[in-house]
Structure 1
Amino acid sequence: MIYLTQIIYINTNEEAAFHQFENVAIPLISKYNGRLLLRLRPTDTNVIESNIETPYEIHIVEFASQKDFDSFKIDKKKTRFYT
């Protein structure tokens, strides 16, 4: 198993673009033998201690293998958002 923790920051006023990306990317995780284990949107009031800016979201994701994760990373439905 491959476990990933994603700490996600987005540019100001880019929430809609991020959500468009997520609407494509999250369903693709299972296509590549993965699972979104946790999707959290922290706020300053629920952070106990931090040495970084509060992120927009935190994701914990697992994939069955490195090959599955590598295939997910290059899926064209997802990569079109940042190429």
Structure 2
Amino acid sequence: MLYITQLIYIKPGKEKVFHEFENHAIPLMEKYTGKLVQRLRPDDAAYVAGEEQKPYEIHIVSFESEEKLQEFFQDETRLQFKHLKDDSVKSILMFRGEKM
């Protein structure tokens, strides 16, 4: 099982565009064995310290394999809405790992 943690940084004022992309992309994950383990939106009180700015959202997702993850990334429906992600996301810091 592959686990991915994403710290997602949104362009100012683009939250609604990002949510529109997520409304299409997240349900598609199941088709490729993907599961949304956690979707967090930390507020200022939750942010204790760090060199980087506070992320807009933190996602923890799982997939059976790297192959399934890549299939999800190439899904035709997801790609139709990718412009929304490109328009709204400033950057993503992504970590890959396994459950210990």
- TM-score normalized by structure 1? 0.92
Q: Give the distance between the partners of 1:35 and 1:82, measured in 2 at CA.
A: 19
> Once the two structures are aligned, what percentage of the paired residues are identical?
46
Query: Post-superposition shift, 1:3?
Result: 0.8
What does residue range 32-71 of structure 1 map to in structure 2 within 5 Å? 32-71=32-71
Structure 1 unmatched runs, 5+: none
1:78 aligns with: 78
Structure 1 residue 29: deviation in Å? 1.0
CA contact (8 A) 2:63 2:69 kept: yes
Contact 2:34 2:64 in 1 (8 A): yes
Report the number of matched residues.
83
Residue 80 of structure 1: how far off its partner (Å): 2.2
Looking at secondary structure, tell me which structure has more strand per residue: 2
Mapped partners of 1:10, 1:77: distance in 2:
22
Task: Give the root-mean-square deviation of aligned CA atoms.
Answer: 1.1
Provide the rounded CA distance (Å) in 2 between the counterparts of 1:43 and 1:59.
15
Moved segments of 4+, more than 4 Å: none
Unaligned runs of 5+ in 2: 84-100
Q: CA deviation at 1:67?
A: 1.0
AA partner of residue 60 (structure 2): I
Q: What is the Cα deviation at residue 81 of structure 1?
A: 2.8
Partner of 1:10: 10
Shift of 1:51: 1.5
The structural deviation recorded for 1:74 is 0.8
Distance in 2 between residues matched to 1:24 and 1:81, nearest whole Å? 7
